[in-house]
Amino acid sequence: MPMLEIYGVPQSNFVWTARMACAEKGVPYELKMARPHTPDIDAVHPMGRMPVMRHGDDSLFETIAICTYIDRNFPGPGLVPAAAMGAAEVAQWVSFINTSLDPVCVRQFALGYVFPGTPDGSPNRAKIDPALPGMEKHLGIVDAAVSRTGHLVGANFTLADMFLLPIASFLTRLPESAQMIGNLPALRAYVERHSTRPSFVATLPPPPPPKAA
């Protein structure tokens, strides 16, 4: 069988999710380093976003599609519950994270630090500050959700958690979000507990390279 290939950079939360899905499932894969809007990515994703996947003659874009393929095409533990309600709840949280939580907490807030676009490279307060109330709301929602069982859905670690954990982990490293998570006991415990998970440890992104002098 051909080797599964994931294209992207490991610091992307979505690339991290796809890699965690492979690790949870025990699927061997090759991470092909590729930035957004470069030929390998543009060849598959119509908007030039990462990750994209190739497997033999098949290719996919959008993380949920890639993870669904990984889950259904390979043997190993299911990433989504078999029961209708559990599967629907995973879809619910993945959709919420992708369309509501990620835009505020990653695109607006975190990228205001990581890719500030300011003349001197300082954090982009014009992006960060307006994101804070929305971030507080979204983090409160997932705190309440994981307070029940320590997972987003049911009593097991599912694909929904693979979407949330990389984002929550990144947020513990930035000042305002770290403080918010510090004040949300269930979410704080969730990040601490699942950060020791083998699939998380095996896919932890390396620190960014030092800035050129």
Binding site for ligand GSH (CB under 6 A): 12-14, 36, 48-50, 62-63, 98
Judged by beta carbon, residue 17 or residue 184, the one nearer ligand GSH is 17
- For residues 80 and 21, the answer to whether their CB atoms sit within 8 Å is no
- Angstrom distances, CA of residue 62 to CA of 44, 45, 92, 192: 10, 8, 16, 28
Structure tokens, 42 = 């543009």
CB of 13 to ligand GSH, least distance (A): 5
Question: Is there a contact between 177 and 109 (Cβ–Cβ < 8 Å)?
Answer: yes
What's the min distance (Å) between Cβ of 62 and ligand GSH?
Answer: 5
Helices 175-182 and 185-194: angle between axes, nearest 10 degrees: 110
Q: Which is nearer to ligand GSH, 40 or 62 (CB)?
A: 62
Q: What angle do CA 101, 99, 196 make, to 5 degrees?
A: 45
- Least distance to ligand GSH, CB of residue 137, Å: 21
Shortest separation between residue 198's beta carbon and ligand GSH, angstroms: 23
Toward ligand GSH, which CB reaches closer, 47 or 83? 47
Q: Which is nearer to ligand GSH, 95 or 118 (CB)?
A: 95
Distance CA 172, CA 180 (A): 9
The residue assigned the tokens 């957004």 is 36
| Distance in angstroms (rounded) separating the CA atoms of residues 157 and 125 | 35
Q: Is 209 left (phi over 0), alpha (psi -120 to 50) or beta?
A: beta
Q: Please, which residue, 38 or 73, has the CB nearer to ligand GSH?
A: 38
Min CB(189)–ligand GSH separation in Å: 26
Q: Which is nearer to ligand GSH, 7 or 190 (CB)?
A: 7
Can you tell me the distance from the alpha carbon of 159 to that of 173, in angstroms, rounded to the nearest whole number?
A: 23
For the bound state, the minimum distance from the C-beta of residue 155 to ligand GSH, rounded and expressed in Å, comes to: 26
